[in-house]
Amino acid sequence: MNALLPPAALPVLCGERVTLRPMDEHDAAALFAIYGDPLVMRHTGEDPFPELATVGQMLASVRRLLASGQSLEWAIVLAGSGELVGTCGLHSFDAAARAAQVGCLLRRSAWGRGIMPEALAVLAAYAAEVLRLHGLMADVAPQNTRARRMFRRLGYREDGNDMLRIGLRPAPRA
């Protein structure tokens, strides 16, 4: 089996209502609205960003982790308006199992609108068809019942270790 080789540059991924694209410095205010919100961050195990300048540090980390092949992190934008409403990505790649962990955050004003399930479906299709991953995992806090319900609706199942997992079936190559 080929080694798992994440891309050196993030592609733009398109769904019906969302587009996943690389983040940049122009996104700082929108990212701060997500990462600085205590309600959005409450189940992440991380403190909310204290100030807008913290976004610059995060973006530098995102670039560094992409360059090293450790993490792929996209901005979730609404296809019609281009408004940045969230982030999602893949990290903790396991080459032997051909699997990765999924991470995602959504601005509070976008909750309950079906945006994250669509973004995660676009991400899963990329993971299966391009990266040829066989599975995804989500580390969702037990008390985050809304997120756990969403992942279960997407087909993720409890694995007995507080992780949610889904198997992927890559499309056959032509």
The rounded distance, in Å, linking the Cα atoms of 134 and 94 is: 10
Residues of the chain with pLDDT under 50: 1-2
Residue 4: what pLDDT?
72
Residue 173: what pLDDT?
60
Task: Note whether residue 174 is domain-resident.
Answer: no
Task: Note whether residue 46 is domain-resident.
Answer: yes
Task: Note whether residue 172 is domain-resident.
Answer: no
Number of domains composing the chain: 1
Residue 174: what pLDDT?
55
Range of the domain at 36: 13-167
Task: Note whether residue 6 is domain-resident.
Answer: no
Residue 1: what pLDDT?
36
- The count of C-alpha atoms lying within 13 angstroms of the C-alpha of 124, restricted to the half-sphere facing its C-beta, is 20
The rounded distance, in Å, linking the Cα atoms of 114 and 112 is: 6
Paired tokens of 120: 């995660």
Residue 86, strand partner residues: 76, 106
CATH number, domain at 21?
3.40.630.30
pTM of the predicted model, to two decimals? 0.93
Task: Note whether residue 4 is domain-resident.
Answer: no
Question: Taking a C-beta distance cutoff of 8 angstroms, is the pair 103, 65 a contact?
Answer: no
29-38: list long-range contacts, CB under 8 Å, 24+ apart.
30/75, 30/83, 30/84, 30/85, 30/107, 31/55, 31/58, 31/59, 31/75, 31/84, 31/87, 33/107, 34/86, 34/87, 34/105, 34/106, 34/107, 35/105, 37/107, 37/108
Residue 7: what pLDDT?
85
Task: Note whether residue 105 is domain-resident.
Answer: yes
Task: Note whether residue 79 is domain-resident.
Answer: yes
Task: Note whether residue 3 is domain-resident.
Answer: no
Residue 11: what pLDDT?
96
